[in-house]
């Protein structure tokens, strides 16, 4: 297991992992937060939305890839270089901490729409990419059936 450095050359910290009482859990490749170096605005937003979400729902939402240390190229992503993009898993009905596509029986459309709404209402958020066109304001793009991609200003 590779040790994750606390802070990279940009001064970005890793998103807090598994903190007590948080509304989100972390996942991603590489693991252990190595793909979760985040711009300060992203950390602020995810902690805020995590707090808001845990007031509404017992299930945690999954936060995945953000950026690698020092903004290195993050294959297979075309973005995720500046700490201002994050992937978030769709909410599952059973609350399991694993992937769920929009055509899966476990996909909880209402909860996912509610979570996306929390993000969309925040002024930091520029766009949300997700392929469930029934959710207002999302933009469809290839590869986003099982998670949505948030992009901050």
Partner 1 sequence: MKIQWLYLLVVLLLTSPIVAADSSPSPYLQADVSYRIYGGGLGDPTAPTPSDRKVAFSIEGKAAKQIFDAIGPDKPDRCTQGSGMRVRHKDRERLTCTLSKENEYVCSFGFDLVTGKSVGGSIC
If DSSP codes are grouped into helix, strand and coil, which group holds residue 147? strand
Residue 46 to residue 33: CA distance in whole angstroms: 14
Is 24 a binding residue for partner 1 by CB under 8 A? The answer is no
Residue 28, CA distances (Å) to 32, 64, 97, 135, 136 in order? 8, 5, 12, 24, 26
Is 136 a binding residue for partner 1 by CB under 8 A? The answer is no
Residue 22's nearest CA partner among 48, 50, 1, 58 is 50
Is 139 a binding residue for partner 1 by CB under 8 A? The answer is yes
Asked if 140 and 133 count as a contact pair (C-beta separation under 8 A), the reply is yes
- Nearer to partner 1 among residue 56 and residue 133 (C-beta): 133
Residue 4's nearest CA partner among 22, 27, 31, 24 is 31
CB of 7: closest distance to partner 1 in angstroms? 24
- Nearer to partner 1 among residue 20 and residue 79 (C-beta): 79
Q: Quickly tell me which residue has 């017992």 as its tokens.
A: 58
- Nearer to partner 1 among residue 69 and residue 88 (C-beta): 88
CB of 61: closest distance to partner 1 in angstroms? 13
Query: Residue from 35, 50, 64, 83 that binds partner 1 (CB under 8 A)?
Result: 64
Of residues 71-130, those binding partner 1 (CB under 8 A): 73, 75-79, 81, 85, 87, 89, 99, 101, 127, 129
Interface residues with partner 1 (CB under 8 A)?
A: 27, 29, 64-65, 73, 75-79, 81, 85, 87, 89, 99, 101, 127, 129, 139, 141-147, 149
């Amino acid at each position: 297991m590779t040790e994750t450095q606390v802070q990279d050359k940009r001064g970005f910290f890793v998103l807090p992992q598994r903190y007590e009482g948080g509304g989100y859990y972390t996942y991603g490749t590489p693991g252990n937060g190595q793909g979760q170096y985040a711009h300060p605005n992203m950390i602020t937003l995810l902690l805020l939305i995590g707090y808001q979400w845990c007031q509404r729902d017992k299930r945690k939402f999954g936060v995945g890839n953000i950026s690698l240390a020092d903004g290195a190229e993050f294959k297979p992503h075309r973005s995720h270089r500046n700490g201002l993009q994050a992937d978030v898993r769709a909410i599952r009905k059973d609350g399991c901490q694993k992937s769920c596509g929009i055509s899966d029986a476990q996909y909880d459309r209402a909860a996912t729409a509610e979570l996306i709404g929390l993000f969309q209402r925040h002024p930091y958020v520029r766009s949300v990419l997700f392929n469930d066109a029934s959710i207002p304001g999302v933009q469809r793009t290839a590869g986003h059936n099982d998670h949505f991609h948030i992009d901050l200003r």
